Amino acid sequence: MEKMALGFIEKALKSVDPYQLVHDQVVVSDGVLKIAGQQDSVDLSAFRNIFIIGAGKGTAPMAAAMEELLGDYLKTGVITVKYGHGMPTRTVTVLEAGHPIPDENTLTHTRQMLKLADQAGEDDLVIVLLSGGGSALMEALPESISLQKWADLNQSLLASGADITQINTIRKHLSLTKGGRLAQKIAPAQTLTLILSDVIGDPLNSIASGPTAPDPTTFQDALDIVKRFQLEKNIAPAILEYLQAGCAGQIEENPKEGDTIFKKVRNHIIGNNTLALKKLEQLAAEQGYQTIILTDRARGEAREIAKILAAMVENALYSGFPVSSPACLILGGEPTVTLQGKGKGGRNQELALAMLEALQNVKKDFYFCSVGSDGTDGPTEAAGAWIDHRTMAKVKKVGLSIGDYLNRNDSYHFFKEIDQLIITGPTRTNVMDIMFCLI
């Protein structure tokens, strides 16, 4: 099962390869650009200049594909990717910066993007490329908020248990690029944004913190999230003061639905988690498995998801409901982990460890894995981890305690000890996490 499952993962990730998705979704013919399934088109010859800017783990292959499609229509471009996620391009400059915590390169590279945005006039087109990670990789901050204060805030948010939408609500209100503000800077030029979604439900306003989309959230929403997760003592006073000033109307809200700037903005999603799950479904069916996609919106604490999923697996194994063996249960989404210990790991590894705790007494054959589609899980080089019906024998042989490792949030060292990490290297894509169980 293990070898076959790793093949499933590899092919599912290829199905959301950003380079191929751009070529699948974008067509340029006789100087006219069209998006698959969309009625509108873009006459490239009508523009004086065409620029590309963008940010995210998957934007380098997106840029390479757009270079091929646009040819001489493209004047120049600048994008930022996570360290180690760059690749050669001809016209677009690919820069690297810190993720998930922004660094000085993030600010420097963003200034280069904004210079291009400022150059763009009414007769120009700016093509914005966005993928998961774009929120951390494209940033311009208010004067009162230093990079260190911002980085400390991001660390606190990532450890708080807040989901990506809540995190991005706060980020959007402390940024000069997010929440539609990039579209403001590009105006009066036209904006065409191509998006690889890493957010549940594909909300335009949340992916990469929605730099070219209307922002339905407010400063008050951001402050409420800070209070909900009791972050007031963990973040700099300057950040709290900035949010409070926004609530008091002293700082202008992000642009909302109906703002005239969005009349010149087109946002298109070219790939998401569902595509990867459907590829998994196809692959498993070809191998004779009954398949069921449970959801592409798995969210909440990884340990709680594991309890529910483990119960479904046991049902399937022992009662044939909702499917009987041989079967493949598939789901995707983005679990969260509220850090309580000082171990090392990520949400996929924690989910796999919690699944092992729940299924440790199951003797029938099964294989489960959880993988981050970007090839990284938390601050580790692993994409995720796997377990099967034989894992507990290995655990007992080396004398590991599942409970102790869970309490320390130390899933990485647990799975490294028994050689059950999944390591893919950078995939240059990002469509949240994929999980499946073969029984």
SS (H, E, C) 268-331: EEEECHHHHHHHHHHHHHHCCCEEEEEEEEECCEHHHHHHHHHHHHHHHHHHCCCCCCCEEEEE
Quick one: pLDDT at residue 275? 96
Q: What average pLDDT score do residues 100-120 get? A: 96
pLDDT band at 192 (very low <50, low <70, confident <90, very high): very high
Mean model confidence pLDDT for the chain: 96
Query: Burial, 295: exposed, middle or buried (Cβ in 10 Å; 0-12, 13-18, 19+)?
Result: middle
Query: Residue 263's closest CA among 20, 438, 40?
Result: 40
Is residue 183 a contact partner of residue 109, using CB atoms and an 8 Å limit?
Answer: no
Alpha-carbon distance 67 to 75, whole Å? 10
Asked if pLDDT for residue 158 goes beyond 90, the answer is no
Q: What average pLDDT score do residues 331-344 get? A: 95
Q: What average pLDDT score do residues 406-416 get? A: 98
Quick one: pLDDT at residue 87? 95
Quick one: pLDDT at residue 209? 94
* Helix H or strand E encompassing 79: strand 76-82
Quick one: pLDDT at residue 164? 84
Q: Are strands 265-271 and 92-97 parallel, antiparallel or unpaired?
A: unpaired
Alpha-carbon distance 182 to 355, whole Å? 42
Q: Using one digit for the tens of pLDDT, what is the confidence trace for 41-60?
A: 999 999 999 999 999 999 99
Asked if pLDDT for residue 1 goes beyond 90, the answer is no
Q: Using one digit for the tens of pLDDT, what is the confidence trace for 198-251?
A: 999 999 999 999 999 999 999 999 999 999 999 998 899 999 999 999 999 999
Rounded to 5 degrees, φ, ψ at 331 are -155, 160
Q: What's 438's DSSP letter?
A: E
Is residue 290 a contact partner of residue 326, using CB atoms and an 8 Å limit?
Answer: yes
Asked if pLDDT for residue 149 goes beyond 90, the answer is yes
Q: What residue ranges define each of the domains in the chain, with the CATH number in brackets?
A: 17-140+175-217+254-271 (3.40.50.10180), 274-438 (3.40.1480.10)
Asked if pLDDT for residue 154 goes beyond 90, the answer is no
Asked if pLDDT for residue 39 goes beyond 90, the answer is no
Asked if pLDDT for residue 100 goes beyond 90, the answer is no
Q: What average pLDDT score do residues 125-139 get? A: 96
- Two tokens, residue 144: 């009162």
- Two tokens, residue 324: 């009987």
Alpha-carbon distance 378 to 106, whole Å? 20
pLDDT band at 155 (very low <50, low <70, confident <90, very high): confident
Quick one: pLDDT at residue 40? 85
Q: Where are the beta strands (DSSP E) in 182-263?
A: 190-196
Asked if pLDDT for residue 359 goes beyond 90, the answer is yes
Higher pLDDT, 2 or 329: 329
Quick one: pLDDT at residue 159? 86
Asked if pLDDT for residue 35 goes beyond 90, the answer is yes
